[in-house]
Amino acid sequence: MVALALGLVLFGLGQFDEPVFTVLTRGWQAVVGGLGPTAQRLVQPSGLSTHGVIVGLTYRLLYMLVSIALLHVLLRGRHTRAIVLGYALAFGLSLALLLLGQRGGVEWAAVQGHRLMDLISAPLALLLLYGLVLLRRARPVGGPG
């Protein structure tokens, strides 16, 4: 039941992403409303996306957390640390590429960072990780006699 509920949440996040982005944008506007213009720019649409940087990152983090929870349930707790580490490394790399691209003026880095962020916050990443874990478990342990 938990796996079904998490699957439905992921489906809902994917199918109804614009209403989710709207809620996240309003929430972040309320949070940064009293802060300076630099903080307020984080909520405004960026050059790579139609959503603010902090809004897009929040959505992707939410999607990744639900994906990790679903994998945790499906795999009965096995490999959760490795999955969390993999998502964290990919998220960190994509952030580094985005920062390099936007702050350093390296456009290809920003584009690649955005693509990596899109990949890790999509059903494809979830399916690939699940399939890889199943393949790893299916390999025979040990060698011949």
Split into its structural domains, the chain has a count of 1
pLDDT of residue 66: 93
Tell me if 143 is assigned to some domain: no
70 within 8 A of 13, measured Cβ to Cβ:
no
Q: Exposed, middle or buried: residue 69 (CB in 10 Å: 0-12, 13-18, 19+)?
A: middle
pLDDT of residue 91: 93
Tell me if 31 is assigned to some domain: yes
Tell me if 9 is assigned to some domain: yes
Range of the domain at 70: 2-138
Tell me if 145 is assigned to some domain: no
Q: How far apart are CA 132 and CA 78, in angstroms?
A: 13
Tell me if 29 is assigned to some domain: yes
By C-alpha distance, which of 93, 91, 87 is closest to 69? 87
Q: How far apart are CA 72 and CA 30, in angstroms?
A: 33
80 within 8 A of 72, measured Cβ to Cβ:
yes
∠53-55-58 over CA atoms, to 5°?
110
Tell me if 26 is assigned to some domain: yes
List per-residue pLDDT tens for the chain, 145 residues long: 898 999 899 899 888 989 998 899 888 888 887 777 666 666 776 665 677 778 888 999 999 999 999 989 988 888 888 889 989 999 999 999 988 988 888 889 988 998 998 888 887 777 877 787 777 776 665 555 4
- List, in order, residues 6 or more apart from 123 with CB less than 8 Å away: 10, 14
